[in-house]
Every structure is written in C-alpha cells, then in structure tokens.
Amino acid sequence: MDYHSSSSTTLPSSHDELSSATALVARLERLPFFAFHRRLLIWLGLGLFFVAFNTLVVSFTITATGSAFQFDPNKNAPAAGTLIALGFLAQGAGAVAAGVLAEYYGRKRLAVAALLLSGIGIIAAFSWSLPSLIIFHTLQDLGIGAFLPLALTWFVEYVPAQSRGKTAILLATFYIWGDFLLPVLSTRATALFGADGWRALFVFGGAAPVLCALAIWFLLPESVRWLVNKGDEGQAQQLITKLEAEAEKRKITLADPATTRYSADTHPTRLGELFSSTYRRSTIVSWTQWFVCYFIATAFSNGLPTLFVAIGYQKISLLLIIAYGTASLLMTYGLAFIWKRSGARRFFLSGNYLSFISAVIGAILVGIFHLHNGLLFIADTFTALGAFVSVAGLYLYTAELFPTRIRAWALSTSRGMQCLATLIAPFLTAYLIATFGLISIFVLFGTLTCVGLLVFWRYGRETRQEILEELAS
C-alpha cells in the first residue's frame, strides 16, 4: 500500500458521520489484526533485532578490539569500562531525547532517524584507534537507545485492544533473538575474517539497520493516533481509509464502529504531565519495574562467571548460558499467549514473587547452610527468570499506562531507567561480591524485588483488553 500519497480521499457517504477525532480512533480499533499489522510487526521487529545486536556487540568484541588497538581489556579495565559505560549513557540519552522529539515530530521520522544513526556502525568498523571507536560507537548508541521505545510506541498505537498483549510481546522477542544470536554470529565472523571479525560485525550492525530504515520509511505509515493528537485529521482519515480498503480487499468484514466510551486524545503535549497527579503513580510503577528488572537481569548476566567459579561449573558454563537463553526465549513466547488470560497485575506480580522467593532461598542457602553448589545456580537463575517475566511485558504495559500525547516520552524515560540500571549493576555487584561475598547479591536482589513488588501491588493497574484511550482517561 502507498502510504505517502498526498491526494485527497473522498469517504463514502456512510462514513460522513465518522469525521471526528474519536470516530477516527474507533475506525482504527475496529480493524482486526491482519496483513498490515504483520508488516508493522516484522519490520519494526527487524529493527529491534539489529538494535539488540548492536547493543552487545562491543562487549563481545572487546578482546578483539583490544588486540587491534594494543590494549588488554583485562589489564586496562578503565578503558574497556569507559567504552561500555559511555555506550549505556548514550543509549539513555538517545532514548530520552527521542521521546521528546517523537511527541512533536512523529513516531515514524524519529524511528527511521534512530536506525540511520545506528548505521554509524559502518564507520566504527574502520576505526583506527580506541578513542575513534569510542566516539563512533557512542554516536551509534544514541540511535540504538532511541529506537526501542519509539518502535513499541508506534506498534501499540496501531494494534487493536484484543490483539495488543500477545503481539506486542511477540514484537519484543525480536530483541531477544538479537541477544541470542550475537554469540553465534560473533563466532562465525571470527572464523571467516580472523582478527578482523569484529570489523565485519560492525559493518553488518551498521548496514542492516540502514536498509531496515529505508524499508520502514516506504512501507509503514505514521501513527494515526499521533496524527489525530496533533490535529491532522485529514491525513489520519486518508490512512485509515487505505487500511480499511486493504482489509476489505482481503475479504475482511468490518463492523460499524462501536459506540465509544472514550474520547480521542487531542490535548497538547506537556512533558511535565508525567509527574502530574493523574499519571504520577503510573510513572512510579513503570520506572520502578524497569530499574529493578533490568538491574537483576544485568547483574545475573555479569555475575555468572563469578558464580560458576564459586560452584565449580566453569567447564559447562557455555552450555548453561545457552540453556538459560533458550529458556528465556521459550518463556517469552509462552508469556505472549497467556497475557490475555492473566492480565497485567497477575503477570507482573507473579514475576516479582518468583524473583523475591528465589532470592530469599539463595540467601538462605549461602548464609545459613553455606552451600556453594548447583542449588545456588538454580536459585540465581529463577531470580533472573522472575525478572525476565516482567521484562517481557514492560514495553507493552508502559505504553498502555499513558495517553498518546506523552506515550513515547513515558516509554523513553523508562528506557532511560533501564540504561541506568544496566550501567550501575555490574559495578555494584562486583563491589558487593568482593566485599561481602555471594550472599550480598541475593540480599540485594531480594530487597529490590521486594520494593518492586510493593510498588506494583499498591499502584499497578489492570490493562487487559482495554482500548488505549479508555486506559488513559
């Protein structure tokens, strides 16, 4: 479908009464999940895959880049730490900045710009020194951080309420695949290109998002809800009419738009509204869950080598990491299909309970029984899996809590909390383990999940199958 036509579209007379902003949203909501939504899912999902790939590529190539630029990351930890830390800071800054701009200039423009910016990876592949690599990859990370919240916002604003939970979580699995396949691609690149394998990974990580950005620009339309919010009802009406025509061409019968219990969001964007009395609690819930869950997930990943040494599992460590990644991926697919039945509150409370109970068990095993065996790994794994349950639904849930006028901004600030947690977790956990031993990690995990559990229990809202405008009203 051509979504760039500027020609006017004349609506059938039966649609004359559907010219208001609310009626446009009602027409959008009556569309079932069909081929258009699948295109949206696939192209935005591919963007998320490349973003996940580029997020971790430095960590996987740090030894190779060290050899290229004559520094040992193990002996020169500050340089390696600076490279990684600046990346997460840039991702957080990119996310927050993109959230602001997307509220004023649209989801599509900013999402495409974010992917194009991540294309700087092509230039980073030809870095001639460590400082040049740091500069190029930091610029690339601005785009990496920006795309994820924009893609989820854009997708959620198109998907009908009945399909939103399952499909939004399925979209998030593209990101997990990026994490999961990076070690495989890294090994293959090293085998094919030897010492320059890291450069090949950067070329791929830069070129692929650029091609994806071009496809998104020509194949996907701007968010109808954003257009309605900005008062561009003419373009919104053209887009909806084209989507309706595509649906009818595919023999999909469209019911008359239902009588609405809501009004379309046409209020102006006020960034400070995130902290207003209406949305303050939603902000607290979202930020807390993003920080706690990603702190635990990051600490678990970074702490695995230390844990394997403590329990004597170094020889099978790679196998266990692959098993955990596979379990996480399969669990996310399963969670996508139970969201509709469970609802948001049961979903997040279950994840928090699992993390809290597992952390308590781990602390007891170390602190009271002084065990350092496989049971400790199991407790640590289930603590992380509990956090991962929440991570699977965080993008969707945050988008549901806020109205169109601040949705991208809310998701982007939450993404900023994720980057903050990811930055802090490795340093704090390393210090605690060195100072107080493994028990301190389980105590920390238990404390954090207890806070997350209490906050969600008190302020977390149910959002199951409600239209976005109903949730925001």
Tokens of 95: 């996310």
Give me the residue label for tokens 């009626």: 23
Q: Answer whether residue 94 shows pLDDT above 90.
A: yes
pLDDT average, residue stretch 419-424: 92
- What is the assigned CATH class of domain 15-249? mainly alpha
Q: Tell me if domain 15-249 and domain 272-461 are identical in fold.
A: yes
Highest mean pLDDT among 131-135, 170-174, 262-266, 328-332: 170-174
Average pLDDT value for the chain: 87
Identify the pLDDT of residue 134: 86
The token pair at 200 is 């090949």
Q: What percent of the chain clears pLDDT 70, i.e. is strictly above it? A: 88
How far is Cα 331 from Cα 392, in angstroms, rounded to an integer?
A: 9
Mean pLDDT across 162-184: 90
Determine the Cα–Cα distance for residues 119 and 114; give it in Å rounded to an integer: 9
Topology of 272-461 in CATH? Growth Hormone; Chain: A; (1.20.1250)
Q: Which sequence spans correspond to the domains of the chain?
A: 15-249, 272-461
Model confidence pLDDT, tens digit, residues 290-312: 999 999 988 877 665 555 555 56
